[in-house]
Structure 1
Amino acid sequence: MQVVRPEFVPDPSLSHDEMAALQREIAETALFADEIGFDTGTVSAPTDSGQTTLGETDTPLVAGVDQAFVGDRAVSAVVVTRGGEVVERVHAVEPAEIPYIPGLLSFREGGAILAALDALDHDPDVLLVDGSGRIHFREAGLATHVGVTVDVPTVGVAKSLLCGDPERPLDGGFPEGTSVPIRADDAVETAANGTHIGDAVQTRQYDSPNRHVNPLIVSPGHRVSAGTATELVLATAAGYKLPEPTRLADRAADEAKAAVS
């Protein structure tokens, strides 16, 4: 998978202000509406059987993307799935040249992700990235930055809320399958207050009053709407909190990290 917009390739040597300015340009370029080129109804999670239920031409390639770290190096793993099977796994290791800074994650991890995507033999139809998309101070989180740079439909799947105002309190979670809109607030400088920027999505929940699973924070990265982002995450969930492509990428990143270590 090739870089389409080289001007947006993350440059960790930029100053904080220059990074923020680049993110505003990325947000202006991003499309937070559906331009996906496939039927979302054909998307499903990989299964233990490893068999697809639809023909290859009918089923889109869904890739999970996740990262791990070994010292000052970022390890990015990409797992490409088609229906019920995994068709490819790759990883790449690149220097993590800056520390973690809230809102600037793509400049720390983006290089490794782009290197892993470049190593793929398959071109995914959509990326599920561990990180924020539009739910970001400048609507340009890791998923948006990567998605715009390679110009592929992308969804951000985060474990915590970076900014924005949920329509309902998230503490305690919700019944499985529930989604709660998250709207821009004063912390989102590039969107009007009240703009629907993503959702809290409950992919899994305990059947018990004594414990709960917190929802995922799902947002459009590029070329998907908020509703479609939620639909894709729920369609690829398979009994775990993370959607299956991202969960497999998380496991692959840990395995690659162990090998690098």
Structure 2
Amino acid sequence: MTAPDRSMGSPSLTPAEAIALQKELAGRVELRPLPARFHVLAAADLSYLPSRELIAVVVTFSWPDLQLLEKVHVRRPVEFPYVPGLLSFREAPALTAAFHQLELRPDVFLCDGQGLAHPRRFGLACHVGLLLDIPTVGCAKKRLCGTHDPVGIEKGSRSLLSLDGDPVGYVYRSRTGVKPIYVSPGHKADLESSLALVERCVRRYRIPEPLRVAHNTATLLRRNPEFP
């Protein structure tokens, strides 16, 4: 029998053990530019059900024209408690399970969550990227940590997000006059290429289009688990 991948963690981990594991795994994260050319982009989001289950959705798009290719989802029990900074231990197992249902493996994975912009430099995008060995980018709606200069009000304005003096991401204004989003590299990505990817994914809305489709699909599934 194959031994379980320790990087996935275990539902029996205590928060202290999970933090120690994050610190260990953060050393394995590789920072490098995203592929200059690729063909398939994945995006993911989750919805929580009252039954203490979650639905993980992964959608894929052709790149760079962002034509929808595939949608998959899984429904899983929530096995790890809610602890700020440790959400990847709740969500990564379901996201990776959904990912493995895809018929065509993506080249790059866009996650709704933090990457390097995390107190231990190991947010959801880092965790998922390491588990799947795929370039990942984190795009979050809220800041988890770090500091930055004010961001201009105009679309396209950005400010470097720093943690303990080190750059960990960008605060990016995706639409004029709306709240910014927080972009950070996960695994096999870097700051500049992560922001460039997100910029190319922004259409009419604040949230990049692939993540918006994943979010809307997860919301429909939460309301109607029989949604195809």
State TM-score, norm by structure 2.
0.92
Identity %: 36
Cross-structure match for 1:23? 22
Question: After superposition, where does 1:83-122 map in structure 2 within 5 Å?
Answer: 83-122=65-104
Cross-structure match for 1:147? 129
Secondary structure at the residue paired with 1:233? helix
Cross-structure match for 1:54? none
Say which of 210, 215, 220 aligns to 1:250: 215
Q: Is the 8 A contact 1:66 1:76 kept in 2?
A: yes
Question: After superposition, where does 1:153-164 map in structure 2 within 5 Å?
Answer: 153-164=135-146
What is the rounded CA distance, in whole Å, between the counterparts of 1:181 and 1:15 in structure 2? 33
| AA in 2 matched with 1:93 | R
Q: Is the 8 A contact 2:114 2:183 kept in 1?
A: yes
What is the rounded CA distance, in whole Å, between the counterparts of 1:199 and 1:37 in structure 2? 19
Say which of 51, 57, 67 aligns to 2:46: 67
Structure 1 unaligned residues grouped into runs of 5+: 40-58, 185-192, 206-211
Secondary structure at the residue paired with 2:217? helix
Q: Are residues 1:176 and 2:155 paired?
A: yes
What is the rounded CA distance, in whole Å, between the counterparts of 2:108 and 2:126 in structure 1? 12
Q: Is the 8 A contact 1:70 1:260 kept in 2?
A: no
Question: After superposition, where does 1:208-219 map in structure 2 within 5 Å?
Answer: 212-219=177-184
What is the rounded CA distance, in whole Å, between the counterparts of 2:158 and 2:31 in structure 1? 18
Q: Is the 8 A contact 1:61 1:80 kept in 2?
A: yes
Q: Deviations over 1:71-115 (max 9, x none)?
A: 201111011000231000001111112332110001111111011
Secondary structure at the residue paired with 1:180? strand
State TM-score, norm by structure 1.
0.80
What is the rounded CA distance, in whole Å, between the counterparts of 2:225 and 2:79 in structure 1? 18
> Which one scores higher on RCO, CA 8 angstroms, separation ≥ 6?
1
Say which of 104, 107, 125 aligns to 1:125: 107
- CA deviation after TM superposition for structure 1 residue 38, in Å: 3.5
Structure 2 unaligned residues grouped into runs of 5+: none
Q: Is the 8 A contact 1:61 1:124 kept in 2?
A: yes
| AA in 2 matched with 1:148 | L
Q: Is the 8 A contact 1:75 1:256 kept in 2?
A: yes
RMSD: 1.5
Secondary structure at the residue paired with 1:165? coil
